[in-house]
Amino acid sequence: MVYAAFRSIGAYAPKKILSNEELSTMVDTTDEWITKRTGIKERRIAADNEYTSDLGIYAAELAIERSGLNKDEIDMIVCATISPDYFCMPSTATIISTKLGLKNITAFDISAACTGFVYILSIAKAFIESGMKKNVLIIGAEKLSSITDYSDRGTCILFGDGAGAAVISATDNKDEAIIDVHTGADGAYADLLMTPNGGSGSAHDSLDQEAANCFMQMKGNETFKVAVRTLTKDVVEILNENNINSESIKHFIPHQANYRIIKAVGDALKLREDQVVLTVEKYGNTSGASIPMAINDIYEQGRLKKGELMLLDAFGGGLTWGSALVPFSPLK
Ligand SMILES: CC(C)(COP(=O)(O)OP(=O)(O)OC[C@H]1O[C@@H](n2cnc3c(N)ncnc32)[C@H](O)[C@@H]1OP(=O)(O)O)[C@@H](O)C(=O)NCCC(=O)NCCS
Mean of all residue pLDDT scores within the chain: 95
Is the CB of 159 within 6 Å of ligand 1? Answer: no
Is the CB of 153 within 6 Å of ligand 1? Answer: yes
* Whether pTM exceeds 0.85: yes
Show the DSSP H helices in 137-245 as ranges.
207-212, 220-241
pLDDT for the residue 332: 79
Residue ID of nearest Cα to ligand 1 atom 5 = 37
Low-confidence stretches of the chain (pLDDT beneath 70): 203-213
Buried b (16+ CB within 10 A) or exposed e, 53-73: bbbbbbbbbbbbebbebebee
Distances, alpha carbon 8 to alpha carbons 36, 118, 291, in Å: 34, 15, 14
Ligand 1: atom nearest CA of 315 is 48
Helix 220-241 / helix 259-268 crossing angle, nearest 10 deg: 30
pLDDT for the residue 184: 96
Cβ proximity of 290 and 255 under 8 Å: yes
Distances, alpha carbon 82 to alpha carbons 65, 88, 127, 129, 289, in Å: 26, 11, 23, 27, 10
**Selected catalytic residue, list 20, 135, 255, 258:** 255
Nearest to 67 by CA among 202, 212, 171: 171
6-50 confidence digits (pLDDT tens): 999 999 999 999 999 999 999 999 999 999 999 999 999 999 999
Is the CB of 220 within 6 Å of ligand 1? Answer: yes
Active site residue 114: yes
For the chain, list the domains and their CATH numbers. 1-332 (3.40.47.10)
Ligand 1: atom nearest CA of 314 is 48
pLDDT for the residue 214: 82
Is the CB of 37 within 6 Å of ligand 1? Answer: yes
191-226 confidence digits (pLDDT tens): 899 988 777 777 666 566 666 668 999 998 999 999
Is the CB of 24 within 6 Å of ligand 1? Answer: no
Distances, alpha carbon 153 to alpha carbons 199, 208, 217, 299, in Å: 25, 20, 11, 33
**Selected catalytic residue, list 20, 114, 197, 251:** 114
Active site residue 255: yes
